[in-house]
Structure 1
């Protein structure tokens, strides 16, 4: 990251970046909100974070050359084939700033994690 950004809201976080990166961050936020409108938005670990029933749903962060998307390891394992063209970590993927965001894939990953959290809540109410 460019340095740990001091922000308490998405809008404060977003304003630290050039307009073209802000646009991608807003796209990402909109995709998550479309899939999980009941998720709570916050800043956690210095980046935008979404929680569902108090549990981590997804996180993301702008970097100098990419946007990091963190959907937890189980989500990344489930989408291993679709993510194979991107640089990845155990629970992270890097979407290059030089390319359009794969919004459809991001929505699918968010929905997968949302359903996983909903299923766990039903098993452990």
Structure 2
């Protein structure tokens, strides 16, 4: 399976563990021509084409079932696109399909203010996903 560039909540090992039941291999990555935009009324970001560079992580070693779970989690508000990272590697990424704010999403603020409350919701979503 291709590697997945993550720039928002999926860059946090706690979120990945809650969703996947494990933390796959993660390595730093950057994508030029993109930014992780803050979204109106949401605690998570959306990847939008824009001048600049989006910082994130590259997830390697996902299985097909894990990709399917992450695709369901990201839902129809995103589409999977292939991007090229600043080091030339190709990767898949979730591109946001709707309105975004002019400001960038702040992962440090998310970690400090939202992450602890966000993770249990991810675990609950995974349980519901597996019940279907």
TM-score by shorter chain over 0.5 = no
More strand, by proportion: 2
Indicate the structure whose relative CO is greater, using CA pairs within 8 Å and at least 6 residues apart. 2
User: What TM-score comes out, normalization by structure 2 length?
Assistant: 0.31
**TM-score with structure 1 length normalisation?**
0.32
